[in-house]
Structure 1
Amino acid sequence: MNPEFWHQKWHNSELGFHLSQVHPLLQRYLGELSLKAGHTVFLPLCGKTLDIGYLLEQGYRVIGAELSEKAVTDLFASLNRQPATTPWQGGIRYQHGDLTVFQGDIFLLQAEDIEATDALYDRAALIALPDTMRERYARHLMALTDKAPQLLITLEYDQQQMDGPPFSVGKKQVKNLYESHYRIAPLSRKMILDHEPLFRERGLTAIYENVFLLT
């Protein structure tokens, strides 16, 4: 997708994808990643998610990648952190203590930039991308993280009823992207339309939230 689309979303505060709480499914299933204190979790297209603060509180080091400069500055402000900034080949690197966020084009990020990664948490990244970009994205993530274990949350619905983003990504699409490199374990699938009236207004008659563990 055109980066300007997301810049406009942040500029206009059209942030329906941003949760005002830590994601309950992260809290429920984080233990499936078998992380230890000090381990590093990578969050692609992280926005200003409150999940980052939660992961930091659990004692983990967090590395994020995010296109929007506004999202990154809002994130550090929400955490009351004054980051140091340095350039990297795709944008600006923001760093404070155990939190680093690479602002810019995630496809320019290299494994040596983020060093060792113990796990990956994808809540709103894969579903933000159209089908034509997902295979490239998945390959890039595996190269970046050396196929680190992944906790993946997706949304699944009839794509004919609504244009994304968020786009529909079900078990079949996850298998097509990752099955040759990971063991894929579905952890949860729940219909959430009653709790998401905006999706009903956009024409959906059903929408499911899925959780997958990739190891």
Structure 2
Amino acid sequence: MEISYWKSRWRKGNIGWHMDHVFPPLTAFWSALALAEGTTVLVPLCGKSPDLQWLADLGHKVVGVEASGKAIKEFIAHSPESFTRTERYGYPIFESPSITLWQGNFLSLPTQATGPLDAIYDKASLVALPPDTRPQYAHKLLQLCGSHTQLFLQTFEYEQEEMNGPPFSVPLSEVQTLFGNHFTIRLLQEESRLAEVQKFQQRGLSSHFVEKIYHLYTS
């Protein structure tokens, strides 16, 4: 799926993945990372998620990357912080004291752009990508990681043949293939969401739909 697909969905307001409230597993399990104030958290494919502000309010330096200018504009409009616009590496950048938003293709982001990262928060990012793009995405994440970087990762598991993505099914075996050589993978939560996704059932989903939350860290 090309960036034009996602930009089109933002223009049309077809953003069913967006949550107007902070992602509950984030508030429940973020403390597992034991990050201090002032540490830097990357949020790829961030949209206009309120999770950005929640992380900033904890005292983190938050770096978001989003292709849609509309999403960034709407986030800024609702943020209590003031942003200024600059540009680096050909990317428009919007900065406040605690949040930096890069507008453009995450997969092309220069590895030196973000600076040292303490954590990466992936909610609805890996699962938004088709199978042939996920290795490239994971490679970019690993390029941006330092020796101590941790990942907070959301995935879904279901019978892929029942429904076309996105979101796509990303089983544990694939998480291990993409990240297992670099991280210890710890399952924080596993919950059935089938009763909550009637729209997916209308697309053919029938057997199961499980959300998993992982903490990836270096041993």
TM-score (norm 1): 0.96
**Structure 1 gap ranges (5+):** none
3-state DSSP of counterpart to 2:8: helix
Who is 1:160 aligned against?
Answer: 161
CA distance in 2, matches of 1:164, 1:78: 30
Q: Deviations over 1:139-167 (max 9, x none)?
A: 11111122610010111111101111111
RMSD: 1.2
Residue 211 of structure 1 aligns with which residue?
213
Could you tell me the percent identity over the aligned residues?
33
Give 1:163-202 correspondences, 5 Å limit. 163-202=164-203
**1:87 match:** 87
Deviations 1:17-69, CA, capped at 9 Å, x for gaps:
10121000001110111100111111000000111111111111100111101
Give secondary structure in 2 for the equivalent of 1:166.
coil
Residue type matched to 1:74 in 2? E
Unaligned runs of 5+ in 2: none
Q: What is aligned with 1:23?
A: 23
Q: CA deviation at 1:90?
A: 4.5
Query: What amino acid maps onto 2:130 in structure 1?
Result: P
- What is the SS of the residue equivalent to 1:180? coil
The one-letter amino acid paired with 2:133 is M
Q: Does 1:101 align with 2:94?
A: no
Question: Which residue number in structure 2 is paired with residue 50 of structure 1?
Answer: 50
Q: How many residues align?
A: 215
- Runs (4 or more) in structure 1 with deviation over 6 Å come to none
| Larger CA deviation: 43-52 vs 138-147 | 138-147
Q: CA deviation at 1:193?
A: 1.1
Counterpart secondary structure, 1:111 = coil
